[in-house]
Amino acid sequence: MKFLLIEDNLALAEAILTRMQLDGHVIDHAPNLSDAIAFSETGDYDLILLDIMLPDGDGRDFLTRHRAGRGDTPVIVLTARSQVSDRIGLLDLGADDYVTKPFDHAELQARCRAVLRRRSGAAQTVIRRGDAILDPVAGHLTVAGKAINLRNRELRLLELLFNAPGRIFSKQKLVDRLYSYDDDVSENAVEVYVARLRKHLENSGLKISTHRGLGYRLDDV
């Protein structure tokens, strides 16, 4: 999954980045409101973690703008305000959930998983396609009863394809989803991961098709 973290406290941001990256997520970090707006307008995110008190504005303004623009990316607010009225106000503005500072990172991770499950309408994270079962949480793929451990970006790439069978993803789109803004990477890296996944998917009843000039798509064999 790719997250956008909007947080001006660099120590807290670094701690969140470290924990989420260990979970295999790709994260862009915006330390202020103007960067957050720029990231949200150009990036494609599965989840936004939003601080309220920012050096150049109020995170609630970002939330209002995001929802007014029909942005449907789920938002979890990180707030130091513990009053019930404050939390109700955030939910009414369009927040999907909130975490009160200071918080345990394990709780934040759990809330992220819960919001993503609710948004997808799924009670579980296991994805079944053909004769393959992908478990993004456990980090492995099962093909014809055989478990295959996946590297982090192989896992995230396959998760994208499994969640949108029949949709063509361009190389640039996949690069944007698999890497953060600061990563220096070429589109050739995507070709390497696709080649590995094709081998993993042998005997699965599935294939990753190349559509010249367009990108890749998950199809039935």
Question: In this predicted model, what pLDDT tens digit does every residue of 120-151 receive, in sequence order?
Answer: 654 456 889 999 999 887 788 999 899 998 88
Question: For the chain, which ranges sit under pLDDT 50?
Answer: 122-123
Q: Which of 46, 165, 39, 33 is nearest to 96 (CA)?
A: 46
- Are 209 and 166 contacting, i.e. CB atoms less than 8 angstroms apart? no
CATH number, span 127-220: 1.10.10.10
CATH number, span 2-120: 3.40.50.2300
Distance between alpha carbon 72 and the CA centroid of its chain, in Å? 13
Q: Domain locations in the chain?
A: 2-120, 127-220
pLDDT at site 11: 95
pLDDT at site 121: 58
Indicate the pTM of the whole model.
0.75
**Hey, do 2-120 and 127-220 end up sharing a CATH topology, with the first three levels equal?**
no
Instruction: Give residue for tokens 């969640």.
Output: 163
pLDDT at site 124: 52
**CA–CA gap between residue 33 and residue 76 (Å, rounded):** 16
